[in-house]
């Protein structure tokens, strides 16, 4: 085809839109699905990269064409001020007599337990073995 034209979609950072190819003079561009871009809202297809000349999808193509996506920042929610009301109450305080505190010792004695080991650990082991031996002999 001598009059085969193509339309490219420059999403300017958005999701890919495949080109439309094999178009002839007088053909119209099919509106593609809207691309997506994080943090932005898609605002239409334009004939120039600065997005000043909006493309009319009812118009025939003049030849090869590049359409540019226009993006608008997603409006961010701003914190709203809430008025606060302060309530003040008058408190009545009555004094009461408290008993005098007794004095506490200034030094604290250590209550750490001390571990004591049997003087001869082998004696305990031997006694256990002898007792076990006696029990074994009685069974036989």
Q: Read off the CATH number of the domain in which 9 is found.
A: 2.60.40.4270
Q: Of 1-5, 57-61, 83-87, which gets the smallest average pLDDT?
A: 83-87
More confident residue, 54 or 128: 54
Q: Has residue 106 been placed in a domain?
A: no
Which residues are CB-contacts of 12 (< 8 A; sequence separation ≥ 6)? 49, 68, 69, 70, 71
Q: Has residue 39 been placed in a domain?
A: yes
DSSP structural state of residue 13:
T
Apex CA 85: angle with CA 82 and CA 87, to 5°? 155
Q: Has residue 113 been placed in a domain?
A: no
More confident residue, 13 or 85: 13
> What range does the domain containing 69 cover?
5-73
Q: Has residue 26 been placed in a domain?
A: yes
pLDDT at 94 over 80: no
DSSP structural state of residue 60:
B
Q: Has residue 44 been placed in a domain?
A: yes
Q: Has residue 31 been placed in a domain?
A: yes
Overall pTM > 0.75 = no
Q: Has residue 69 been placed in a domain?
A: yes
Give the chain's domain count: 1
Q: Has residue 23 been placed in a domain?
A: yes
């Amino acid at each position: 085809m001598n009059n085969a034209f193509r339309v490219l979609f420059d999403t300017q950072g958005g999701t890919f839109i495949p080109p439309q190819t094999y178009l002839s003079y007088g053909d119209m561009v099919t509106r593609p699905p809207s691309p997506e871009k994080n943090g932005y809202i898609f605002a239409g297809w334009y004939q120039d990269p600065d997005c000043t000349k909006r493309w009319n999808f009812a118009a025939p193509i003049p030849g090869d064409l590049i359409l540019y996506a226009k993006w608008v920042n997603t409006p961010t929610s701003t914190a709203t001020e809430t008025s606060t009301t302060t309530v003040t109450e008058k408190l009545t305080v009555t004094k009461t007599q408290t008993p005098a505190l007794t004095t506490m010792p200034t030094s604290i004695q250590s209550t750490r337990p001390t571990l004591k080991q049997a003087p001869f650990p082998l004696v305990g082991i031997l006694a256990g073995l002898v007792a076990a031996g006696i029990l074994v002999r009685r069974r036989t």
